[in-house]
């Protein structure tokens, strides 16, 4: 096969592949942009400075199924009346919406720790931000690699 | 058929920090999926969860579509007195479910 005919063949094959997928194209949800993520974070923290530390974000670094990813956020805090965690906020980078969940607790919690299961549409960063009783904000970020994305399958 | 699973220790010593586990069966439809014909499947999620301990709110959560189906939430509280934990989930399409658990504090 000459170079030319191979190129023609590949071009045709590519064209056929594109045509073949057109009728079943899945409209991918719009990804959250970094601007949406930072505005979602600003909505919670306002103008306050977010520092790294105190927060521990436990999430598997490699997940097979993005539809259900176990996640635990814990914050180092004595949980007393004058020094406790008021809330924990979890954000993501690439899902259609930047928010994952907000959790509000108080000194009676005894331990500042929340677990849930989340969805991730793609490999991305997950950020947890804790608001303490003195209105300082602390954060932790983890990278997650997702092999099977959530939300892409069609509903029946 | 909505149903809740709650795990609260039946007994605790006063001052113990106890773990509360909750699961509510719910599809948590994100509103970002499409049917084969291209129509958007409307969003149907639980948006709020509240836990009260003898009437006082001890934990609250705002949920988004990024929470997996059948929301599973665990958190902690300090056992102060015998009584009742009440759990409430509310969401889209008028979803509203409650559950409760009893604890004996010695």
- CB < 8 Å & 24+ apart, contacts of A138-141: A138/A50, A138/A51, A138/A52, A138/A53, A138/A54, A138/A55, A138/A75, A139/A50, A139/A51, A139/A52, A139/A55, A140/A52, A140/A53, A140/A55, A140/A56, A140/A57, A140/A73, A141/A52, A141/A57
Residue A21 is assigned to a structural domain of this protein: no
Domain of residue B48: give its range.
4-105
Q: What is the pLDDT of residues A7-65, one digit of tens each?
A: 555 555 554 444 444 444 444 456 667 888 889 999 999 988 999 999 999 999 999 99
Using a CB-CB cut-off of 8 Å, the residues of chain B touching A41 are none
Average pLDDT, chain A: 83
Is residue A142 within 8 A of residue A96, CB to CB? The reply is: no
Residues 6+ apart with CB under 8 A from A134: A83
Using a CB-CB cut-off of 8 Å, the residues of chain B touching A154 are 33-36
How many distinct structural domains can be found in chain A? 1
Q: Which residue of B has its CA nearest to A109?
A: B77
Domain of residue A86: give its range.
32-148
Residue A16 is assigned to a structural domain of this protein: no
- How far lies A38's CA from each of A33, A47, A124, B18, in Å? 9, 12, 15, 35
Q: Looking at the predicted structure, is the pLDDT value of residue B69 above 90?
A: yes
Q: What is the pLDDT of residues A87-102, one digit of tens each?
A: 999 999 999 999 999 9
User: CA B99 to CA A152: how far, in whole Å?
Assistant: 33
CATH number where A98 lies: 2.60.40.2470
- Calculate mean pLDDT across residues B27-34: 91
Q: Best of B29, B66, B81, B89 to disrupt the A interface by mutation (most A CBs within 10 Å)?
A: B66
SS3 content of chain A, % helix, strand, coil (to 5): 25, 40, 35
Q: Residue A101: which of B30, B41, B62 has the nearest Cβ?
A: B62
Residue A144 is assigned to a structural domain of this protein: yes
Contact state of A115 with B58 under an 8 Å Cβ cutoff? no
How many distinct structural domains can be found in chain B? 1
pLDDT score at A154: 63
Confidence of residue B82 (pLDDT cuts 50, 70, 90): very high
Q: Best of A26, A67, A117 to disrupt the B interface by mutation (most B CBs within 10 Å)?
A: A117
Question: Mind telling me how many Å the CA of B103 is from chain A's nearest CA?
Answer: 16
Residue A97 is assigned to a structural domain of this protein: yes
Q: Which residue of B has its CA nearest to A29?
A: B32
ipTM score of complex = 0.94
CATH number where B49 lies: 2.60.40.10
Residue A1 is assigned to a structural domain of this protein: no
Residue A18 is assigned to a structural domain of this protein: no
Q: Best of B28, B32, B50 to disrupt the A interface by mutation (most A CBs within 10 Å)?
A: B32
Q: Which residue of B has its CA nearest to A88?
A: B61
CB contact residues (below 8 A), chain A span 63-122, against chain B: 67-69, 92, 95-97, 99-106, 108-120
């Amino acid at each position: 096969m000459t170079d030319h005919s191979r190129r023609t063949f590949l071009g045709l094959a590519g064209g056929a592949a594109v045509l073949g997928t057109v009728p079943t194209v899945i409209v991918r949800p719009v990804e959250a942009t970094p601007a949406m993520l930072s505005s979602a974070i600003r909505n919670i923290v306002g103008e306050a400075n977010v520092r790294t530390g105190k927060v521990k974000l436990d999430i598997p670094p490699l997940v097979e199924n993005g539809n259900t990813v176990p996640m635990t956020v814990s914050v180092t805090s004595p949980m007393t009346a004058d020094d406790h965690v008021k809330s924990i906020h979890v954000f993501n980078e690439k899902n259609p919406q930047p928010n994952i969940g907000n959790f509000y607790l108080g000194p009676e919690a005894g331990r500042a720790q929340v677990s849930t299961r989340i969805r991730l549409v793609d490999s991305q960063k997950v950020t947890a931000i804790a608001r303490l009783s003195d209105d300082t904000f602390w954060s932790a970020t983890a990278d997650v690699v997702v092999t099977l994305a959530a939300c892409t399958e069609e509903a029946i | 058929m909505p149903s809740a699973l709650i795990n609260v220790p039946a007994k605790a010593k006063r001052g113990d920090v106890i773990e509360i586990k909750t699961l509510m069966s719910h599809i948590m439809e994100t509103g970002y999926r499409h049917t084969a014909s291209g129509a958007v499947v409307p969003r149907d999620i639980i948006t709020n969860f509240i836990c009260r301990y003898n009437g006082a709110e001890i934990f609250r959560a705002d949920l988004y579509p990024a929470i997996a189906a059948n929301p599973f939430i665990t958190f902690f509280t300090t056992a102060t007195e015998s009584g009742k934990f009440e759990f409430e989930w509310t969401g889209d399409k008028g979803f509203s479910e409650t559950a409760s658990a009893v604890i004996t504090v010695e």
